[in-house]
Amino acid sequence: MTDFTELTAVQLVEGYRKGEFSPEEVTRAALRRAEEVQPSVNAFVRLDIDEALTQASESAERWRRGEPAGLVDGVPVTVKDILLMRGGPTLKGSRTVRAEGRWDEDAPSVARLREHGAVFLGKTTTPEFGWKGVTDSPQAGITRNPYDVSRTSGGSSGGAAAAVALGAGPLALGTDGGGSVRIPAAFCGIFALKPTYGRVPLYPASAFGTLAHVGPMTRDAADAALTLDVISGPDARDWSGLGPAAGSFTDVLDDGVRGLRIAYSPSLGGQVAVRPAVAAAVRHAVEGLASLGAYVEETDPDFADPVEAFHTLWFSGAARVTQPLGPHQRELLDPGLREICALGARYSALDYLAAVDVRMELGRRMGHFHETYDLLVTPTLPLTAFEAGAEVPRGSGHHRWTGWTPFTYPFNMTQQPAASVPVGVDEAGLPVGLQIVAARHRDDLVLRAAHALYEAGVAGVAPPPYPTAVG
């Protein structure tokens, strides 16, 4: 018997094409899995069971006629509850957002998936307004790690990562303003891509401005390429979106890495203390890239940690998103969010522009770096998943989530494409992620390198054990 929850989107579409199974069977299996794991991991804020089954039935009829609507017709998808999806509220993890309203508009990425026949299972959890690198909120509670429910799923797209890892839909939409698809992907053992800024249109615009990207979270790189082929089309509502992609991302997957120039930076020039198990898993995967014909050099990009400039941009954005709230509503906010909003409100326009200057210089440096190297490879994170319900690991000395994510947020500042690839586990069986970064507009190179690792058996980790509720 085929376990439909173990199949990738590419495999599902091929099965539909051959008539081996139907979107209705697959959707029922995905919904059943979502309901089974929800009490343990809390990945969803809403499951749209009746609507999903209706969409699956319509998809099955299209496949019976041999007239699929698009590239992902009948594939179950989840959507992070930051992105609009018509038919229900988008609460953004906040008790300050009212559920009442028309809610009759899709975000651009959701609209493209709907046009291609995707089946929407529901909305996944996020911290309030996506503000931090773990997923817990006053509105939805704590989202837990599929490999160990006492630990965090990461964030801010933590619900999406947990859902994909546990088989509750092979495709998920997440958002990433400082690592928010890559962090939970690394913690939950899945693949995630932050595309070049503007490659996937975003509407409404994020309060975090041009730091915020929309990206696919999937089982592997092939599914991410398929999803990017669907969601990367321009949308008139996004003034900063890019024009059409030059071609299909799926079509170039098999071009491999032979001849690519890859810079391997294990610690950003000694700036980051990386746990030994993480470092070892990443180094092994880098050796795999070399064995596949890439030219690998251990070297570091030339930049200092831009965290203070990132904080200026990030905290200002948080202050802006909560600016309309009155005193009573502010009391409903996550205390950590309330704290950074107060900091952000104190910055001047000159402070903000100084941070933009840092960002522009970082972009210049990385542009120059990629004249020599096609790809940069680092750990996604210096550690594996820590205790759930905390913004920072206990005893770490960090105050904010940016203290333990130094490999991710710099590449939101530069708007480069970056992916997290699962490449092993630590001594506790928790997944380790490797990050692949390319120059702006070279999403194809990121996907090619990641796919080569999957094809060589270097990427991918065993699925998580069936989670049980926290005692």
Report whether the peptide linkage leading into residue 204 is cis, meaning its omega lies within 30 degrees of zero: yes
Burial letters 382-400, b for 16+ CB under 10 A, else e = bbbbbebeebbeeeeeeeb
Residues 131 and 448: their CA atoms lie apart, in Å, by 31
Sign of CA dihedral 377, 130, 422, 442: negative
Cβ neighbours for 341, distance < 8 A, ≥ 6 positions apart:
315, 318, 319, 322, 333
Residue 180 a catalytic site member: yes
**What backbone torsions phi and psi does residue 48 show, to the nearest 5 degrees?**
-100, 75
Residue 40 a catalytic site member: no
Structure tokens at 366: 């990385």
Catalytic residue among 59, 94, 156, 157: 156
- Going from the C-alpha of 269 to that of each of 272, 273, 421, the distances in angstroms are 8, 10, 21
- 3-state percent breakdown (helix, strand, coil) of the chain, nearest 5: 40, 15, 45
Residues 369 and 261: their CA atoms lie apart, in Å, by 11
Residues 330 and 323: their CA atoms lie apart, in Å, by 10
Residue 248 a catalytic site member: no
Known catalytic residues are 80, 156, 180
